[in-house]
Structure 1
Amino acid sequence: MSRSLRRGALAATAIVLSVAALSACGAGNDAQTLEVRPDNAAVTVDDVKIQNALVVTQPEPGAKGPAAVSASVFNNGSTPQTVDAITLPGTKAVVKLKAAEGTGPITVPAHGSVLIGGQGNASAVIENGSEAARNGDAQKIVFKLSKTGDVSLNAFIVPATSYFKDYGPETVPAAPTTVPAAPTTAPAATPTGTPATPTSPATPSGEASHGAETPASGEPTTAGH
């Protein structure tokens, strides 16, 4: 190979490596700016594959309330399986499962999948999520399936904002309301009933009544005038 060809090959290789390095830095350090959703935890055990596993907390930092587990569960087997439980080892968290429809368990159909988390999907609510999960940490999650058994993986803990706002807990604490203070003085009482009718003034004692006079005792009675 001539010297000029070797120089061209080296220059092309340097350009490719530079582009690859820049792409890696952009995706790893500033993925949200580039609007690239970061990869989440995934694992495969026998016929079951779980991917995009997350623990999604309240959108406001420090807010008290439940959290939620979000994940896609795939079943490549020929028989359906059910998700019997989800646990967070090392915590006292209690995860309540609910199917998308009805009151039965979360069922993963044969050669199918089920999405846990998000409106209209199955849900896995961590009742004491604010105590069990802290944003930025990685939490071990165990999915217990009816046939495969325990499938565990580490999932990121993220708030229900940005890409994850539609996968967080449905229950969000309401903003506190201000209760008006009670008045310190009682309002004037409203008079009830009909006002009493004023009575006529009494006749002064000792004054003679109009009309015929009554003679004093012992005096003759005068008939007529």
Structure 2
Amino acid sequence: MSRSLRRGTLAATAVVFSIAALSACGAGNDAQTLQIKPDNAAATKGEIKIQNALVITQGEKEKKGPAVVSATLFNSGTKPQTLDAVTLAGGKGGKVVLKSAEGAGKITVPAGGSVVIGGKGNASAVIEGGRTAVEDGNVQEVVFQLSSAGAVPLGAFVVPATGMFADFGPSAAPGTGATPSGAPTPSPGSTSGTPSGSSSQSTGH
């Protein structure tokens, strides 16, 4: 299969997966009952579970600017953990700048709760290198560094900020041209506020 065709297939798969997950939201929040599992990148290490991870670039193909990482982090433990860093594996450039929902301080994943990265009013992870660091249609290995769990790597689809991803793209991140709203927004492709197959937890907000 050619490289360009492979990229197109990955991008189409990401969109189809996310549409399926969002359709589950419309039918109800009990994804387990619907037998819907998270379709975007997910990984678990220790008490930390990461779901619906995506790298979202600028909506216009030729537009320069930062990209962002979007994901939901769950903490099943009894102590909070902080997200100390997000890096792009594989020798990719591009510094990732983290900001909490309040715009200052570290991003905390509360004990027995979760935190959303991406979208207005949420914490953000901005890739300063933008399109020089990532390319639409690829799968980019992203490493989340947690204070207790350590490094949690996973492969995230790289998609442009169009359609259902528009509200989670670079323009929604604080300091990139958008004014955050006061209410948190679920990450794209998420089926509920709890990990698939897990009991409901307090978000700590």
Tell me the TM-score normalized by structure 2: 0.66
Question: 2:14 touches 2:40 (CA, 8 Å); kept in 1?
Answer: no
| Shift in alpha-carbon separation, 1:163–1:146, aligned structure 2, 3 A | same
Query: In the alignment, is residue 36 of structure 1 matched against residue 31 of structure 2?
Result: no
Measured after TM superposition, the shift of residue 29 of structure 1 is 10
Q: Spell out, residue by residue over 1:156-209, the C-alpha distance to the aligned partner (whole angstroms, 9 max, x if none).
A: 00000111111100237xxxxxxxxxxxxxxxxxxxxxxxxxxxxxxxxxxxxx
For residues 111-150 of structure 1, what are the structure 2 equivalents within 5 Å?
A: 111-150=112-151
Letter in 2 for 1:116: I
- Fraction of identical pairs, as percent: 57
Question: 1:142 touches 1:150 (CA, 8 Å); kept in 2?
Answer: yes
Q: Give the aligned length.
A: 145
Query: In the alignment, is residue 99 of structure 1 matched against residue 100 of structure 2?
Result: yes
Aligned to 1:166: 167
Aligned to 2:80: 80
| Shift in alpha-carbon separation, 1:121–1:46, aligned structure 2, 3 A | same
| Shift in alpha-carbon separation, 1:30–1:70, aligned structure 2, 3 A | closer
Q: Spell out, residue by residue over 1:98-132, the C-alpha distance to the aligned partner (whole angstroms, 9 max, x if none).
A: 00015110000000000000000000000111101
Distance 2:132 2:16 in 1: 28
Q: Which runs of 5+ in 1 are unaligned?
A: 1-26, 173-225
Distance 1:29 1:148 in 2: 27
Measured after TM superposition, the shift of residue 91 of structure 1 is 0.6
| Shift in alpha-carbon separation, 1:35–1:70, aligned structure 2, 3 A | closer
Question: 1:37 touches 1:163 (CA, 8 Å); kept in 2?
Answer: no
Measured after TM superposition, the shift of residue 62 of structure 1 is 2.1
| Shift in alpha-carbon separation, 1:35–1:152, aligned structure 2, 3 A | closer
Letter in 2 for 1:31: V
Question: 2:14 touches 2:157 (CA, 8 Å); kept in 1?
Answer: no
Letter in 2 for 1:115: V
Aligned to 2:60: 60
Q: Which has the higher contact order (CA 8 A, sep 6+)?
A: 2
| Shift in alpha-carbon separation, 1:30–1:56, aligned structure 2, 3 A | closer
- Bigger mean CA deviation after superposition, 119-128 or 97-106: 97-106
| Shift in alpha-carbon separation, 1:29–1:109, aligned structure 2, 3 A | closer
Larger radius of gyration: 1
| Shift in alpha-carbon separation, 1:138–1:75, aligned structure 2, 3 A | same
Distance 1:116 1:109 in 2: 14
Aligned to 2:46: 46
Distance 1:29 1:88 in 2: 19
| Shift in alpha-carbon separation, 1:35–1:75, aligned structure 2, 3 A | closer
| Shift in alpha-carbon separation, 1:111–1:127, aligned structure 2, 3 A | same
Calculate the aligned-residue CA RMSD, in Å.
Answer: 2.2
